[in-house]
Amino acid sequence: MPLRPQVLLTRPQALSERLLPALQAAGLQGLILPAIEILPPPQPALLLQTLERYRQADGPQALAIFVSPSAVLQVAAVLAGRDWPKGLTLAAVGQGTAALLRECTGQAVLAPADSGDGAALLALPAMQSLSQRTVLLCRGQRGRESLVQGLSAAGAQLEVLCCYGRVCPQPDAQALQRLQHSLSAEAGAARLVAWVLGSAEAAHNLQQLLPDQGRCLAALPVFVPHARVAAVARQCGWLQPQIYPGGDAALLQALCALRASVLGVE
């Protein structure tokens, strides 16, 4: 098998693994080194009980807002093969989360077209009549409070659902060794050509996980989903952030364009 240029994936393990086949098909090799470890929901039975409240289309209704792909995957795991509740209208912060939510549910998902943040979601016309409406905010144990504040200010009957935990993972010695080799002259055609950073929290974790290699990454383009993450990347010394408009399809398109420019192939 010919050697392929490598892309470092620092998103959570499950999300990075989903990207590997498409990278392979595009002539790239993914190198997974998660900067965030996703933990299961602390109270899965309570989460399932809340979701089941909206099981029937003619029963209680709620708007369920998912803040991240990890929230989607953890809720899908809690449902464990059951159909998604019919009484939920679905919304997502960002196109990447929306695409995964559509894939998992087969349902329409409300999401901002470009900017992947809570403010853009709240600005949509469909979000202007939230007074007294039940809203389930599906997120991790911690999160930015701006969306909570915005929903509360709009009069929503808000319930925050803790769908997962986030921690900084322990360093993976084998992954670190592969990364070190990909940054060396011996890597040849399998050298690292780019990397993917999903959040500001991941950026801060990487500074702990990669105290030495992190400086080497400064010479490479880093693909980020939002201007906020790009700003944090620059603060960390990673000076080539490339913002893609959200979702794996857009990320793959950007990485393929980079591969063509680096290797001179389409």
SS3 readout for the chain: CCCCCEEEECCCHHHHHHHHHHHHHCCCEEEECCCCEEECCCCHHHHHHHHHCCCCCCCCCEEEEECCHHHHHHHHHHHCCCCCCCCEEEEECCHHHHHHHHHHHCCCEECCCCCCCHHHHHCCHHHCCCCCCEEEEEEECCCCCHHHHHHHHCCCEEEEEEEEEEECCCCCHHHHHHHHHHCCHHHHHHCEEEEECCCHHHHHHHHHHCCCHHHHHCCCCEEECCHHHHHHHHHCCCCCEEECCCCHHHHHHHHHHHHHHHHCCC
CATH class of 39-167: alpha beta
Q: Which of the four pLDDT bands, split at 50, 70 and 90, describes residue 247?
A: confident
CATH architecture of 6-36+170-263: 3-Layer(aba) Sandwich (3.40)
Please determine, for residue 158, whether its predicted confidence score (pLDDT) is greater than 80.
yes
pLDDT of 231 reads: 94
CA angle 145, 150, 154 (to 5 degrees): 150
Model pLDDT for residues 19-39, shown as the tens digit of each residue: 999 999 999 999 999 999 999
Q: Which pLDDT does position 17 carry in this prediction?
A: 96
Spans of all domains in the chain: 6-36+170-263, 39-167
Predicted pLDDT at 9: 97
Q: What is the mean pLDDT of the chain?
A: 91
Kindly state the average pLDDT of the residues 192-218.
90
Identical fold at 6-36+170-263 and 39-167? Answer: yes
Residue predicted with more confidence, 194 or 126: 194
Higher pLDDT, 1 or 185: 185
Per-residue confidence (pLDDT) for residue 42, from 0 to 100 = 95
